[in-house]
Amino acid sequence: MLQIYNTLTKEKAPFKPLEEGKINMYVCGITVYDFCHIGHARVMVSFDVITRYLRARGWDVTYIRNITDVDDKIIKRAAENGERPDQLTERMIAAMHEDEDKLSVLRPDQEPRATGHIQDIIDMVQVLINKGYAYAAANGDVYYRVEKFANYGQLTNKNIDELRSGARVEVQNSKESPLDFVLWKAAKAGEVSWESPWGAGRPGWHIECSAMSKCCLGNTFDIHGGGPDLPFPHHENEIAQSEAANGVKYVNTWMHAGAVRVNAEKMSKSLGNFFTIRDVLQKYDAEVVRYFLSSVHYRSYIDYSESSLKEARSALERFYQALNGVDAIAADLDNDYDARFYDAMDDDFNTPKALAVLFELVNELNSASRAGDDKAPALAAQLKRLAGIIGLLQQSPEAFLQGETKAGEITPEQIEQLIQQRADAKKAKDFAAADQIREDLIAQGIILKDSREGTTWFREG
């Protein structure tokens, strides 16, 4: 049975959906004011793997991931660039989709944007005002009364008294309490805005997800996911808004991906260790990055480093070398790899344990290939099928092993010419020249593999 760790209950438990066989899942997406970074990639890949696995196991999954396309950062960045906010967000959304496609991240079933749900947001804010959970302040903003919601802090074990004592009292404060958070922001001169019962303005960040998830999935749904920085205050505030407005439990299971550290330090621009997905993909094959992000359990932090990426490349090389030269043909096999893979993934999507099962399968495939065992094609097909559930091994072995030619590297055409020259030298019994060509290629990261069918090559990771 599938077991999932629930951030709300702080324990792993058997997963039971609201509707038999169907899972509704909402994941907080990206505020699109800049290119996506490697931390975003962690969340993207983690929930892509989760969705792929649930579907592979026969669940009917509706996966929603929103886009925040109106926000203080967006307005500020657009002004700095001398462009309209919608021009900035359209560019960044297109770039996000390019990054996702390279990482083999499947698109969600729906990708609602905050600006497409303004009326839904206004309607929810009005409900909260009518119920006494929100109030319009003198400055034109609308705030949520945190202390009126009895269960505030349930997700992150926050105590209202402790929050109150630690809250910063703002200058020119229009709030009834420093704990209260904004639902609707009054427009400033020149800012993008929409008309509302409280004047021109735009939504606060937290209310966007409450309104969009309700529109897409209803008042209560199965899984809500997001990144490591979201439980407080964002998800805590979502619970308070949604449960106060709708009068029912908001979400049954909360899931959060772990943080990305860089050489054991928190990733931040101020430390100079901040990497966009595009930065990383200029250096490493996208599948290597995906493997790296999947090699650590989704809830654990992951350390981004040169050595970690090289290890990921080496691991994938082992997989692809095992598949190289084997025609994958599906057939029934009497082994337990499927069962053990599924057991690992049923244990809160334990990808490291699942990958360990695949390495055992690789070892058996290599043994079968060396022995000329007719099970090899079926083992190769099994390996590709199970790895595909994690979004891996979907390239041809040759494409992965030879890789893309980066600036300054020897080209495939030059390599093939040298392979031919080596073959000619061997034919002429000039073995010294043939060996020198091999050594020259090794120096450039090109490994040759001779067989009865000829010589193939791959780039060393």
Indicate whether 52 belongs to any domain.
yes
pLDDT given for residue 461 in this prediction: 61
Q: Which residues are annotated as a binding site for ATP?
A: 269
Looking at the structure of the chain, the number of domains it has is 3
Examine residue 233 and say whether the peptide bond preceding it is cis (omega within 30 degrees of 0): yes
Say yes or no: 190 and 75 in one domain: yes
Q: Are residues 270 and 350 in the same domain?
A: yes
Q: Residue 404: what pLDDT? A: 75
Distance CA 317, CA 123 (A): 54
- Which of 401, 419, 442 finishes a domain? 401
Q: State whether 339 and 410 are in the same domain.
A: no
CA gap 177, 167 in Å, rounded? 9
125 and 237 part of one domain: yes
If asked whether residues 356 and 288 sit together in one domain, one would say yes
Structural domain contains residue 6 = no
CA dihedral 29, 33, 39, 41 (to 10 degrees): 60
Instruction: Assess whether 324 and 243 both reside in one domain.
Output: no
pLDDT at residue 453 in the model: 66
Sheet of strand 221-226, all strands in order from the earlier edge strand to the far edge: 60-68, 22-31, 221-226, 251-256
Cβ neighbours for 288, distance < 8 A, ≥ 6 positions apart: 309, 312, 313, 316, 461
Asked if 398 contacts 391 with a C-beta cutoff of 8 angstroms, the reply is: no
Is residue 1, in this structure, part of any structural domain at all? no
- Identify whether residues 325 and 382 lie together within a single domain: yes
Last residue of a domain, one of 401, 435, 451: 401
Residue 286 resides in a domain: yes
Contact 160, 179 (CB under 8 A): yes
Indicate whether 212 and 309 sit together in one domain. no
CATH number at residue 27: 3.40.50.620
Q: Tens-digit pLDDT profile for the chain (461 aa)?
A: 999 999 999 999 999 999 999 999 999 999 999 999 999 999 999 999 999 999 999 999 999 999 999 999 999 999 999 999 999 999 999 999 999 999 999 999 999 999 999 999 999 999 999 999 999 999 999 999 999 999 999 999 999 988 987 776 665 578 999 999 999 999 999 899 999 999 999 999 999 999 999 999 999 999 999 999 999 999 999 999 999 999 999 999 999 999 999 988 888 777 778 899 999 999 899 999 999 999 999 999 999 999 999 999 999 999 999 999 999 999 999 999 999 999 999 999 999 999 999 999 999 999 999 999 999 999 999 999 999 999 999 999 999 998 877 777 888 889 989 999 999 999 999 999 999 999 999 998 888 888 766 788 888 76
7 occurs within a structural domain: no
Indicate the annotated binding residues for Zn(2+). Answer: 28, 209, 234, 238
Tokens of 201: 């303005």
Instruction: Please indicate, yes or no, if residue 415 is contained in any of the structural domains.
Output: yes
413 and 360 in a common domain: no
Q: What CATH number does residue 273 fall under?
A: 1.20.120.640
C-beta separation of 33 from 211 below 8 A: no
Same domain as 56, residue 96: yes
Residue 242 is assigned to a structural domain of this protein: yes
Q: Which residues are annotated as a binding site?
A: 28, 209, 234, 238, 269
Final residue of a domain: which of 257, 282, 306? Answer: 257
Torsion angle (degrees, nearest 10) of CA 298, 299, 300, 302: 40
Supply the range of the domain harboring residue 136: 12-257
